[in-house]
Structure 1
Amino acid sequence: MAQESEAGGNKVQVSGSIQSDILIPQSDATIGAEDYSEFALTNTFGEVNLSSKYIDAGARVEYLDHPLPGFEPDYKGWGIPYIYVKGKYKNVEVTAGNFYEQFGSGFILRTYEERSLGIDNSLLGGRLVYKPFNWATVKVLAGKQRRYWHDGGPFEGLNRSWVGGADVELSVDQWFKKMQEKNTYLTFGASFVNKHEGDEEMIVSYDGKQRLNFPTDVQAFDVRLRLQTGNWNVLAEYAQKSQDPSQDNDYIYRKGYVAMLSASYSKRGMSFLVQAKRSDNMSFRSQRTLPSLSENSSFINHLPAFTMEHTYALAARYPYATQPDGEWAYQAELAYNFKRHSFFGGKYGTKVKLNFSHVHSIAKNTRYADGIMQGSNGYYPGTDGYGSAFFKWGDSKYYQDFNVQIEKKFTKAFKLNLMYMNQFYNKTAVEGHGGMLHNNIYVAEGKYQFNDKFTLRAEAQYLDMTSGVNNEDGDCDCVYGLLELSVLPYLMFTVSDEYSIGDEIHYYNGSVTFAKGAHRLQVGYARTRAGFNCSGGVCRWVPASKGVTMSYNFNF
């Protein structure tokens, strides 16, 4: 719901949002929920943006002095972490202040905000976007990356390095008339990023005399080619990073690599996707040494996980986090709609989706060096670390997921969704301990619309853990049930319970949601298990919690 005003004949549009998530915590020794000194914990954001024909501007204020559980210590703070002014004229756009950017698939640069993960790694500096022709786009940028609040207070919390880069995208199809006539599109892209970080003292040898010589500049480049013709879409991309010794890789001097090939086909009633990606030592941060390797705020780049992001509670219980030190990842998906009045389609048609993903370690031949202390990963600081044959797998399977989903409408009022999932989850590789878990997961979801006002949705889920059971860690068989009643146009009532069979613990949740216009308010009471919250292969550990929850959203 944006508002408009007019100044000097130039319309100014004002938009923004308010988001506040609140927990009034209670301790619960059974699930390990902590007792907090604060009465309430909250993550609160307010944002306003002004846009006009030639100038855009905006700012965001955050109040995170008592943040929700599971965020990094430096996440605590308050102030204005995001403010910008953008000038636009014809084919030129200039931004000063904070901005987000992504080159290609993000292999060497992706800055973005994901509040549920505690990520806001915007760059503070300047960016130029120039379109000299209708077939070319050029981007140039430089700045420092945000990293939480450090000691708190407004305008604090930047990593020490400077990040600069450039990106060029060319629409090759605009050069050839025959390609345009055949609806064939060919795009070529190339990117370059440089991280400039000062040297620092680090001793790694047993006798305390060997000092690492860190490169003050780390360069990365990316090239990509996308072809779209008819129903086909093919993307090939390759990126490489120069020597970048850091806490992530035990300060080795091996270069980083990532290569990806993706192909998809889509037509009415059917689609499929196949993808393959190999990454090797591709962690790229704006600060080489950090208080914790679990934090996600300092990544300059992003390596997407080629695994399905599940929305059902038990299917999403063990999500995969991309391993930046190296992995082979594959994914294939087929979706098909059986037509109405066919044998499998029935009266209303039937939708079927198959998805398979597999992630494996890459082969590594460790290179040893005399007199140098061995790192936590088994590599030796100050050396190249290891060698790795491109097509050779390592010894570890990180993750595997095969699932089939069926969506069937039986009457105008009733629809049923079914899912089966077979999952392998290497808890040791992803979380550092726990071994290999093997799960069979079954889901049934039904939705019945009584009339134009009332709709009831129900879920029943069962997780059968066939191997890796550990009741002390909560890794055991589970059942889950949910009921959700929508009362249009304003209300929704939800109750759910996840029962962990092995340790006999209930994780219950009840909430009421009210939505009207630009306002949305949810109030509930929940007992939440500890686990990972993930998006796109990036994960945050969320500890167990219990208490009253409130969430308010307003968009204008």
Structure 2
Amino acid sequence: MRFLTYVLAFSFSFLFVNGQEKKNKGRFFGGFETNAQRYLKFENNENSPEYFRSNNYLQVNYEIKKWTFGIQVESYEKQALLNYNPGFDGTNVATYFAKYKAKKFEATAGYFYEQYGSGMILRAWEDRALGINTALRGGKIFYKPTKDIKFKAFYGQQRTGFKVSEGQLYGFDIEANLSDLFSFQESDLEIGFSNVNRYEKIDEALIANPSFSPTTNAFSFRTSFTQGIFYSALEANYKSKDATMNRITNAISNDFINDGNAFQLNLGVAKDGLGIDLTLRRTENMLFTSERIPKAIGLNQSSLDYFDKVINFTPALTKQHHSNLANIYVYQAQAGVEFKSNEIMKSGETGGQIDVVYEFAKDTKFGGKYGTKVALNYASWYNLPGTYRAVPAKYETNFFGVGEKYFSDLNLEVKKQFSENTRASFLYVNQYYNKPWVEDASQDVNTHIFYSELIYNFTKSRSIRIDAEHMWADADFKNWIGGSLEYNFNEKFSLYTLDLVNYGNTKDSEEKKKHYLTVGGAYRKGATRIALGYGRQRGGLVCVGGVCRFVPESTGISLSFNTAF
């Protein structure tokens, strides 16, 4: 009934929007999204799951002159989709805001999103596919006194479910372009500085005479320089001393206090079909949360497993593959301190990735009639080197060098157009995944993956896409084979089928080796899209942009509907 009421509310709001537009009193805009699943079978999951679950979002905004007002209602009925944050429960107003925007000044009150620099000290954001919403409730301002200077400041508390965290956050950011100051004609120089503070009262019933401050300060300095075909960027971050979470005991104490830092360097060259991009990063104890102690959820999980109450975001600097099998072992950035056992103790990560892209020109030996693009990528990540002790918890790191290897990914992709209607791509991936250190599993995994894709366009709007792939893995669930077929009848309607087969699985029964088969289709008209699918979901990590969540294996029917107005 709540779900039906929710849909009816959207219908009435849509009629109201159209009625107001005719009167020309401002402008309404927004969107409605539903992701629902009817689970038919669960494997290795909860004892009493709800078999119908849905995540629903209704956003309505009203803009008039320099003002914009907005509200977002969310409904998770009967519960949120499997393995989403348990704080997303029921139906309620999730966010709201009022914003005033002038030429040089902007102010927002209510809920808002924000990012300073690359996000390593502040990123408040939303990703519905992963169940992440770390919006801040409070206020922020933006001021641009000249074309070369930007200033931002904020105060707020972070969203957690339909509530906000106990910790209070405030900070500012300033950016300046110095090119005119130094009379650069063909170069560009920018600098930026940020400060973010979290205040959380210390419960002296848990920690008597705390030797750390209730306020934790984080600072960031960044600079970028571009000269002709060359570009570079450097960012340095620091987090003041604070009690560090001991994940073994899920507690903080006066005996485990550390500061944190992060450094990132990006260098690149782009000229005449050649592009080279190198990014190096070192992070130590840079997990930054709006509450020091995460909420325990069940026996083996905490709010951190749902990215709940995390102030900052450190992206995984690895290639985002479109191969399904290359996304089984996906690396997530290891930015914080985590002592899992006497053997597995980590305090951050160091590593990087390099991309080399070259496009052979048309009408050359390797380019052919339409040109050929070759892309080589390598990423490798490690724990910080140093000395570690579990009891009492302590670590000391070296700035240079590498520790235990977490992950590596070497891949080569070739994209080739054979005719006006036909194009293809070929991909080879070699991965190393240290599953005990990244996921608490028993074995590390080495993989070799081959992937190929063919697209043929019958007309401008009618096409077919076919891909096939194979993974050789020396451990875990061993070898996989897969493929998909997608047919676009026109710009509006498409059908697809996808199948993954874990034929090399020796860990489980024959039942576990069956196909992960999915079939479905989508219909689009204007700003509206509806998709329906049926199939079996592979258990494990589901990742978007290097951020992942665990999902259990399940079989069911899925419905997705979204529209914008």
Give the TM-score of the pair, scaled to structure 2: 0.87
State the superposition RMSD in angstroms. Answer: 2.2
Deviates more, 1:226-235 or 1:18-27: 226-235
Counterpart in the other structure of 1:373: none
Question: Deviations 1:170-219 (Å, cap 9, x if unpaired)?
Answer: 11113233x1x22x111110001110001124668xxxxx7754521100
Question: Deviations 1:93-132 (Å, cap 9, x if unpaired)?
Answer: 1110000111111111110001111110111001111112
Is the CA contact 1:413–1:448 (under 8 Å) kept in the aligned structure 2?
yes
Is the CA contact 1:27–1:34 (under 8 Å) kept in the aligned structure 2?
no
Is the CA contact 2:80–2:86 (under 8 Å) kept in the aligned structure 1?
no
Counterpart in the other structure of 2:309: 298
Counterpart in the other structure of 1:12: 26
Residues 1:403 and 2:411 aligned together? yes
Q: SS of the residue aligned with 2:436? A: helix
Equivalences for 1:406-555 in 2 at 5 Å? 406-465=414-473, 467=474, 469-470=475-476, 475-503=477-505, 504-555=513-564
> Deviation at 1:140?
1.0
Separation (CA, whole Å) in 2 of partners of 1:498 and 1:344: 34
Separation (CA, whole Å) in 2 of partners of 1:246 and 1:75: 27
Counterpart in the other structure of 2:168: 162
- The letter for the 2-side match of 1:530 is G
Question: Deviations 1:411-432 (Å, cap 9, x if unpaired)?
Answer: 2221111000000011111111
Judging changes above 3 Å, is the alpha-carbon distance between structure 1 residues 77 and 138 closer, same or farther for their aligned structure 2 residues?
same
Judging changes above 3 Å, is the alpha-carbon distance between structure 1 residues 33 and 276 closer, same or farther for their aligned structure 2 residues?
same
Is the CA contact 1:3–1:13 (under 8 Å) kept in the aligned structure 2?
no
* Alignment: residue pair count: 518
Question: Deviations 1:511-548 (Å, cap 9, x if unpaired)?
Answer: 01111111111111010111112234322111112111
Judging changes above 3 Å, is the alpha-carbon distance between structure 1 residues 345 and 3 closer, same or farther for their aligned structure 2 residues?
farther
Judging changes above 3 Å, is the alpha-carbon distance between structure 1 residues 73 and 131 closer, same or farther for their aligned structure 2 residues?
same
Question: Deviations 1:438-483 (Å, cap 9, x if unpaired)?
Answer: 0000001111122344311111010001x2x23xxxx210000111
Counterpart in the other structure of 1:317: 328
Counterpart in the other structure of 2:50: 38
- The letter for the 2-side match of 1:171 is N
Equivalences for 1:20-35 in 2 at 5 Å? 20-29=34-43, 32=44
- The letter for the 1-side match of 2:502 is S
Question: Deviations 1:50-70 (Å, cap 9, x if unpaired)?
Answer: 234311111111001411111
> Deviation at 1:4?
11
Separation (CA, whole Å) in 1 of partners of 2:103 and 2:493: 46
Is the CA contact 1:27–1:35 (under 8 Å) kept in the aligned structure 2?
no
Selected match of 1:354 from 360, 364, 376: 376
Is the CA contact 1:200–1:214 (under 8 Å) kept in the aligned structure 2?
no
Q: SS of the residue aligned with 2:438? A: helix
**Percent of pairs with identical residues:** 31
Separation (CA, whole Å) in 1 of partners of 2:22 and 2:227: 46
Separation (CA, whole Å) in 1 of partners of 2:353 and 2:19: 46
Q: SS of the residue aligned with 2:164? A: coil
Counterpart in the other structure of 1:375: none
Counterpart in the other structure of 1:372: none
> Deviation at 1:345?
0.8
Judging changes above 3 Å, is the alpha-carbon distance between structure 1 residues 109 and 453 closer, same or farther for their aligned structure 2 residues?
closer
List 4+ stretches of structure 1 deviating above 6 A. 1-8
Counterpart in the other structure of 1:371: none
> Deviation at 1:379?
5.6
Separation (CA, whole Å) in 2 of partners of 1:306 and 1:255: 23
Is the CA contact 1:366–1:379 (under 8 Å) kept in the aligned structure 2?
no
Give the TM-score of the pair, scaled to structure 1: 0.89
Separation (CA, whole Å) in 2 of partners of 1:108 and 1:524: 39
Counterpart in the other structure of 2:199: 196
Separation (CA, whole Å) in 1 of partners of 2:267 and 2:169: 32
Residues 1:339 and 2:358 aligned together? no
- The letter for the 2-side match of 1:138 is F
Question: Deviations 1:238-280 (Å, cap 9, x if unpaired)?
Answer: 0000112143666321100100100122234221100100001
Q: SS of the residue aligned with 2:60? A: strand
Judging changes above 3 Å, is the alpha-carbon distance between structure 1 residues 318 and 37 closer, same or farther for their aligned structure 2 residues?
closer
Is the CA contact 1:26–1:34 (under 8 Å) kept in the aligned structure 2?
no
Deviates more, 1:337-346 or 1:72-81: 72-81
Is the CA contact 1:4–1:14 (under 8 Å) kept in the aligned structure 2?
no
Equivalences for 1:21-420 in 2 at 5 Å? 21-29=35-43, 32=44, 37-65=49-77, 66-149=79-162, 157-177=163-183, 179=184, 181-182=185-186, 184-201=187-204, 213-247=211-245, 251=252, 252-290=256-294, 291=296, 292=302, 293-325=304-336, 326-366=348-388, 378=390, 380=392, 385-394=394-403, 396-420=404-428
- The letter for the 1-side match of 2:193 is A
Judging changes above 3 Å, is the alpha-carbon distance between structure 1 residues 435 and 257 closer, same or farther for their aligned structure 2 residues?
same
Q: SS of the residue aligned with 1:429? A: helix
Q: SS of the residue aligned with 2:115? A: coil
Separation (CA, whole Å) in 1 of partners of 2:432 and 2:81: 31
Q: SS of the residue aligned with 2:174? A: strand
- The letter for the 1-side match of 2:117 is G
> Deviation at 1:90?
3.1
Judging changes above 3 Å, is the alpha-carbon distance between structure 1 residues 78 and 243 closer, same or farther for their aligned structure 2 residues?
farther
Separation (CA, whole Å) in 1 of partners of 2:216 and 2:65: 38
Deviates more, 1:443-452 or 1:422-431: 443-452
Question: Deviations 1:270-325 (Å, cap 9, x if unpaired)?
Answer: 21100100001111000111120312021111112111111210011111111122
- The letter for the 1-side match of 2:81 is L
Is the CA contact 1:424–1:439 (under 8 Å) kept in the aligned structure 2?
yes
> Deviation at 1:15?
1.5
- The letter for the 2-side match of 1:102 is Q
Separation (CA, whole Å) in 2 of partners of 1:231 and 1:59: 45
Separation (CA, whole Å) in 1 of partners of 2:286 and 2:546: 14
Is the CA contact 2:500–2:517 (under 8 Å) kept in the aligned structure 1?
yes
Structure 1, unmatched stretches of 5+, are 150-156, 205-209, 368-377
Separation (CA, whole Å) in 1 of partners of 2:42 and 2:84: 20
Is the CA contact 1:304–1:322 (under 8 Å) kept in the aligned structure 2?
yes
Is the CA contact 2:39–2:557 (under 8 Å) kept in the aligned structure 1?
yes
Separation (CA, whole Å) in 1 of partners of 2:527 and 2:516: 31
> Deviation at 1:229?
2.1
Is the CA contact 1:4–1:12 (under 8 Å) kept in the aligned structure 2?
no
Separation (CA, whole Å) in 1 of partners of 2:49 and 2:332: 32
Is the CA contact 2:284–2:349 (under 8 Å) kept in the aligned structure 1?
yes
Counterpart in the other structure of 2:339: none
- The letter for the 1-side match of 2:385 is A
Separation (CA, whole Å) in 2 of partners of 1:248 and 1:420: 40
Judging changes above 3 Å, is the alpha-carbon distance between structure 1 residues 4 and 51 closer, same or farther for their aligned structure 2 residues?
farther
Separation (CA, whole Å) in 1 of partners of 2:335 and 2:80: 28
